Amino acid sequence: MTTKTQYDPSSGSIPAESLLIYRPDRRHEIWRFITYMVLHANWFHLGFNIVVQLIIGLPLEMVHGSIRIAAIYIAGVFAGSLGTSVVEPLTSLVGASGGVYALLAAHFANVLLNFNYMKYGILKLASILIF
């Protein structure tokens, strides 16, 4: 006899049957390589991703435009799921950390390439390397 576990929204956990999370046993469902970014493990996870996206993403978007930054973000999410499926093939994914890391990499590249033209460029570079 099999039993199904009921999802309790107050628990903060995501049901394994969700159509949005990336699951290795469902990797033929291609949308999962992207849609896992809309679900998060808990409120802290969601909040931290939002804060980093605002701090890093908004200045990048003001300089480079929404379409470029959105493309970088989605590419980071996709690369995160592909990389995880190769390195850790039994791991399920939720959250937008791949996109956040892509924004951090874009910000680092932006500071590195425009270092000589930025006011306080050395401080910006140091803050990226420290954090």
Contact predicate 91/24, CB 8 Å: yes
Q: Which residue has the higher pLDDT, 81 or 115?
A: 81
Provide the 10 A C-beta neighbour count for residue 69: 23
What is the C-alpha separation between 88 and 45, in angstroms, rounded? 21
What is the C-alpha separation between 36 and 32, in angstroms, rounded? 6
Q: pLDDT digits over 12-70, tens only?
A: 566 677 888 888 888 889 999 999 999 888 899 999 999 999 999 999 999 999 999 99
Amino acid, single-letter form, for residue 49: N
Residue 22, beta-bridge partner list: 93
Provide the 10 A C-beta neighbour count for residue 62: 10
pTM reported for the whole predicted model: 0.79
Question: From the centroid of its chain, how far is CA 91?
Answer: 16
